């Protein structure tokens, strides 16, 4: 009887402790890692688990603290963080090494043992990505238990492209610093590493330029639909840059020119060929405005703007726009883009612009951003430029999912979640192959998007797919398998209070 009681007791005890997954290969990750091997046991994460980082690499303290803060969200209390000179016997350990070449600058290896979880990378960024993957083995929400089992095994992972980006148009509608930070959280969770900010357009100028104060006094005072607009002070812009850096995201600022400039033209009459300032504009037409390309003051203006923004921007790229300059004469356009590229170089930045800039002579190391025009893009490649892939029919997050979507546009296409996922940047444009491609960017234009909830609705669940296209090699990706992983992320979106589109093509749980 005693034996029976003990056996039943043990059995009952076992069935009371939550049944935990022990097969790491069954876990859903986005982006999909290069390789996942399971060893069939489990690591127990508790409130007593400690986070260690190798003391020689000071930057890792930030990663360790980031991890501790994320674990606090799950466990209720933050684990202790400490530097160590040797491999700990238990806990979570972050370290940087120059061995294991395959990992490259942003890759990582995540080993989950029974007692020790270790994240190894060549850089703090690689460790950060290993941490993101580790977090995807844990529940998204607040703790309902005080411990969690993580399946043991090893994940080795590195990106297909080094430039994995999203764009936020803060010009058509203005979004404040807190919204931009939340957007950066979205990107970095899925291992994206660039945020392109579209800082100026016909409807609004969104960054303080000390040498041209009317840009914000006048040019930032409205937005599409006539709302009050807004702008970032230089301090606020720097705060965004800093927050992005902590999340291994580089800000790529865009000043769109010579077209899409009504807000600047309305602020300073001298930038107009006729010397007269137009009215501020709150509609959504494109292609009607142009800086005056044959006035010297135009280039003084551009020089001041690029200088001030470049000084606040640690990243290597400056985006000069260049799209849809329908009211600029073609020769004037080429002359302008040639001069502006030299200005950008003189302030120590590399030039990127929409695919139209390929009509100019491109400077060394320039990049063109493909959005619609194949001829421009292949001409850019012939002129030695790299390509950032943002095909409007596939990667524009402002395109509606279908004809019932209540916000967004559809001039390029309706983009259902499967359509947005199912393409390969390296075969999409004939004549543009992997070695020409810098990476992938998914832009969100905001003519019809007015607040964070609407941003979330257009961005989720598309953004994780674009992140995966940038990170995971095409031979490892297919929609039928991805949609099941994506469905598992529905509960994560909910836990983060994300207002996402519950597409019928995804088998949500």
Active site residues per annotation: 324
169: Cβ–Cβ under 8 A, 6 or more apart, which residues? 198, 201, 398, 443, 444, 445, 446, 447
C-beta of 445: minimal distance to ligand TNX in Å? 3
CA–CA gap between residue 317 and residue 310 (Å, rounded): 9
Q: Does 396 bind ligand TNX (CB under 6 A)?
A: yes
C-beta of 306: minimal distance to ligand TNX in Å? 19
Q: Which of 116, 177, 286, 334 binds ligand TNX (CB under 6 A)?
A: 286
User: Is the distance from CB of 109 to CB of 34 less than 8 angstroms?
Assistant: no
Q: Which of 93, 445, 471, 501 binds ligand TNX (CB under 6 A)?
A: 445
Q: At what angle do helices 177-189 and 462-471 cross, to 10 degrees?
A: 50
C-beta of 212: minimal distance to ligand TNX in Å? 23
Using only the alpha carbons of the chain, give its radius of gyration. Answer: 25
Going 290 to 295 to 296 to 301, the CA torsion angle's sign is: negative
Q: Does 371 bind ligand TNX (CB under 6 A)?
A: yes
Q: At what angle do helices 234-246 and 177-189 cross, to 10 degrees?
A: 20
Q: Does 398 bind ligand TNX (CB under 6 A)?
A: yes
C-beta of 279: minimal distance to ligand TNX in Å? 19
Q: Which residue, 60 or 265, is less far from ligand TNX as judged by CB?
A: 265
Q: Which residue, 63 or 398, is less far from ligand TNX as judged by CB?
A: 398
Q: Which has the closest alpha carbon to 173: 253, 282, 264, 259? A: 282
Q: Which residue, 284 or 473, is less far from ligand TNX as judged by CB?
A: 284
Considering all CA atoms of the chain, what is the largest pairwise distance in Å, rounded to the nearest integer?
A: 102
CA–CA gap between residue 17 and residue 5 (Å, rounded): 18
139: Cβ–Cβ under 8 A, 6 or more apart, which residues? 74, 148, 491, 495
C-beta of 356: minimal distance to ligand TNX in Å? 8
Letters for 446-485 (x = contact with ligand TNX by CB under 6 A, - = none) are: -x--------------------------------------
**Alpha helices in 33-159, H assignment, sequence order:** 60-75, 124-135
Structure tokens at 305: 């703007």
297-356 binders of ligand TNX (CB under 6 A): 323-324, 354
C-beta of 381: minimal distance to ligand TNX in Å? 18
Q: Does 43 bind ligand TNX (CB under 6 A)?
A: no
User: Is the distance from CB of 4 to CB of 133 less than 8 angstroms?
Assistant: no
Q: Which residue, 45 or 372, is less far from ligand TNX as judged by CB?
A: 372
Q: Which residue, 26 or 451, is less far from ligand TNX as judged by CB?
A: 451
CA–CA gap between residue 443 and residue 399 (Å, rounded): 10
Q: How distant, in Å, are the alpha carbons of 224, 237, 417 from that of 173?
A: 6, 17, 25
C-beta of 16: minimal distance to ligand TNX in Å? 55
- Scan for tokens 């300059």, then name that residue: 325
- Scan for tokens 């390509």, then name that residue: 387
∠ CA 238-461-389 to the nearest 5 degrees?
65
Interface with ligand TNX (CB under 6 A), residue total: 10
Q: How distant, in Å, are the alpha carbons of 267, 369, 410 from that of 406?
A: 34, 28, 11
- Scan for tokens 């280039």, then name that residue: 299
Q: Which residue, 63 or 447, is less far from ligand TNX as judged by CB?
A: 447
Q: Which residue, 208 or 398, is less far from ligand TNX as judged by CB?
A: 398
CA–CA gap between residue 408 and residue 398 (Å, rounded): 5
Letters for 76-115 (x = contact with ligand TNX by CB under 6 A, - = none) are: ----------------------------------------
C-beta of 430: minimal distance to ligand TNX in Å? 21
CA–CA gap between residue 170 and residue 323 (Å, rounded): 17
Q: Which residue, 68 or 463, is less far from ligand TNX as judged by CB?
A: 463
C-beta of 354: minimal distance to ligand TNX in Å? 4
Q: Which residue, 107 or 443, is less far from ligand TNX as judged by CB?
A: 443
171-190 binders of ligand TNX (CB under 6 A): none
Residues forming the site for ligand TNX (CB under 6 A) = 286, 323-324, 354, 371, 396, 398, 409, 445, 447
């Amino acid at each position: 009887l005693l034996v029976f009681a003990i056996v039943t007791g043990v059995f009952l005890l076992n069935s009371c402790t939550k049944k935990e997954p022990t097969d790491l290969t069954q876990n859903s990750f986005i982006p999909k890692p290069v390789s996942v091997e399971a060893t069939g046991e489990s690591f127990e994460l508790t409130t007593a688990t400690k986070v260690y980082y190798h003391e020689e690499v000071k930057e890792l303290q930030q990663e360790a603290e980031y991890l501790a803060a994320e674990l606090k969200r799950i466990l209720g209390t933050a684990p202790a963080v400490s530097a160590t000179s040797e491999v700990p016997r238990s806990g979570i350990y972050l370290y940087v090494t120059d061995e294991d070449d395959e990992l490259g600058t942003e890759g990582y290896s995540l080993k989950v043992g029974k007692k020790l979880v270790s994240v190894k990378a060549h850089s703090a960024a690689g460790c950060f990505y290993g941490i993101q993957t580790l977090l995807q083995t844990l529940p998204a929400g607040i703790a309902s238990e005080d411990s969690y089992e993580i399946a043991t095994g090893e994940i080795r992972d590195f990106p297909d492209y080094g430039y994995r980006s999203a764009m936020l148009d803060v010009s058509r509608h203005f979004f404040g610093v807190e919204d931009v930070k939340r957007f950066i959280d979205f990107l970095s969770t899925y291992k994206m590493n660039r945020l392109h900010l579209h800082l100026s357009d016909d409807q609004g100028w969104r960054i303080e330029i000390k040498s041209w104060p009317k840009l914000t006094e006048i040019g930032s005072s409205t937005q599409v639909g006539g709302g009050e607009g807004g702008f970032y002070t230089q301090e606020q812009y720097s705060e965004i840059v800093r927050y992005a850096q902590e999340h291994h995201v580089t800000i790529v600022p865009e000043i769109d020119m010579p077209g899409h400039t009504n807000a600047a033209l309305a602020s300073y009459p001298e930038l107009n060929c006729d010397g007269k300032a137009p009215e501020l504009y709150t509609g959504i037409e494109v292609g009607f405005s142009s800086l005056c390309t044959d006035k010297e003051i135009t280039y003084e203006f551009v020089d001041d703007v690029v200088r001030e923004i470049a000084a606040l921007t640690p990243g290597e790229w400056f985006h000069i726009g260049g799209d849809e300059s329908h009211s600029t004469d073609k020769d004037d356009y080429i002359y302008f883009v040639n001069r502006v590229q030299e200005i950008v170089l003189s302030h120590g930045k590399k030039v990127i612009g929409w695919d139209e800039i390929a009509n100019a002579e491109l400077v060394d190391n320039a990049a063109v951003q493909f959005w619609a025009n194949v001829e421009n893009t292949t001409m850019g490649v012939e002129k030695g430029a790299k390509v950032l892939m943002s095909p409007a029919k596939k990667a524009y997050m402002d395109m509606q999912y279908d004809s019932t979507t209540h916000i967004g546009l559809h001039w390029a296409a309706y983009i259902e979640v499967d359509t947005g996922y199912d393409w390969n940047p390296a075969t999409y444009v004939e004549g543009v192959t992997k070695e020409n491609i810098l990476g992938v960017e998914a832009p969100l234009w905001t003519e019809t998007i007015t607040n964070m909830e609407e941003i979330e609705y257009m961005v989720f669940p598309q953004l994780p797919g674009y992140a995966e296209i940038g990170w995971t090699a095409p031979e490892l990706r297919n929609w039928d398998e991805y949609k099941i992983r994506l469905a598992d992320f529905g509960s994560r979106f909910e836990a983060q209070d994300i207002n996402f589109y519950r597409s019928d093509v995804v088998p949500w749980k």
